[in-house]
Structure 1
Amino acid sequence: MIQSILKPFGIGVVAGMRSMMAPAVLSHKLSHTMPVSEPHSPVEYAANPTTATVLKVLAVGELIGDKMPGVPNRTDMPGLGFRMLSGGTCGALLNEAEGKLVVQGAVAGGFGAVVGSFLFMRLRLWIDDELGLPDPVVALAEDALTIAAGWLIVDSISIEPVSEAAAS
């Protein structure tokens, strides 16, 4: 029961840190563990290798864009809303992939995105202000943490790998 909340909450926190990283790592994992030739459900579309590639490109674009001056605050609308949508969607997909309650995953993921957005924004500002580290250095450290946390969460998804022969 608790895992059906913690994993989606965690992937939501990742979405709160970098909105596209959560769907990118989740889709990458799904595309390697449940290949589907003809998708019929949302989780099967997320498992599509083309989807995974597009999401990874978007995630890299976000990592680069975050370093640009004048980027809006992650806790301002519409950015926060998009992070909530990303976290909720990823939480729902994660629970669907594990055969757990989709609605529970969506709520936990959306809430995790809000928590992650505010928590890591405040942490980044504190490190910048109190420790005097340059923001680009802190941003790169946050990127690394986001990727690592996302991968740890999706790597714990309990789906048996499907051989390509069985998938076709």
Structure 2
Amino acid sequence: MMRAVGLGVVSGMRSVMGPAFASQYANRYPSRQLNGSPLGFMQKENVMRGLQTITAGELVADKVPGVLDRISPGGLVGRAAAGGLAGATVYQSGGDKAWRGALIGAVAAIAASYAFFYLRKYAGKKYNLKDAFAGGVEDVLAVGLGVGATARK
């Protein structure tokens, strides 16, 4: 459960990063439960590499002024879907029901989207931080959470 929560939180912070870590986990610890399932694509190396590349682009795009807020309706739906995909992948790879992991990951992503949106705004005002700097700190935290959530089987 904690793996799905962690990757859901990461998805709320950086939408594609949660699925990228889930795919990396599925590649590092291949699972028969994923083979032949609708989530089997997450266990493919080219999917993992593609998600990692998109994540790198997202880290840059997050700092660009004028990008929609993560809590805008479209952004929130995308983050919930990403958290759901990450959660479903790690749950099914462990032999549990994918829908449970999807629900946990999606809820964690939505909660984290709001929490980190307002935390970043607060930190910027309170400590007079540039948004790009606060975003960089958030990037480091998201990577750390992703590494921690997928550290061991």
Q: Same fold by TM-score, threshold 0.5 exceeded?
A: yes
Aligned to 2:116: 120
2:138 pairs, out of 138, 142, 154, with 142
Aligned to 2:90: 94
Instruction: State the number of aligned residues.
Output: 151
Aligned to 2:17: 21
The CA deviation at 1:12 is: 0.7
Q: Deviations over 1:15-67 (max 9, x none)?
A: 0000000011111222122189xx52234311111000000011011101001
Aligned to 1:72: 68
Judge conservation of contact 1:35–1:48 (CA < 8 Å) in 2: no
| TM-align CA RMSD | 1.5
The CA deviation at 1:101 is: 2.2
Distance 1:55 1:92 in 2: 16
Go from structure 1 to structure 2 and tell me whether the alpha carbon gap of 1:154 and 1:43 turns closer, same or farther (over 3 Å shift): farther
Paired amino acid for 1:81? V
The CA deviation at 1:140 is: 0.4
- Compute the TM-score of the two structures, normalised by the length of structure 1: 0.85
- Compute the TM-score of the two structures, normalised by the length of structure 2: 0.93
Paired amino acid for 1:25? F
Unaligned runs of 5+ in 2: none
Paired amino acid for 2:9? V
Judge conservation of contact 1:84–1:113 (CA < 8 Å) in 2: yes
Judge conservation of contact 2:26–2:89 (CA < 8 Å) in 1: no
2:105 pairs, out of 102, 109, 113, with 109
Distance 1:28 1:9 in 2: 16
Paired amino acid for 2:98? V
Unaligned runs of 5+ in 1: 159-168
Q: Deviations over 1:114-133 (max 9, x none)?
A: 11100001110010001111
2:43 pairs, out of 44, 47, 66, with 47
1:58 pairs, out of 25, 33, 54, with 54
Judge conservation of contact 2:26–2:90 (CA < 8 Å) in 1: no
Paired amino acid for 2:19? P
Aligned-partner SS, 1:78: helix
Distance 2:30 2:133 in 1: 37
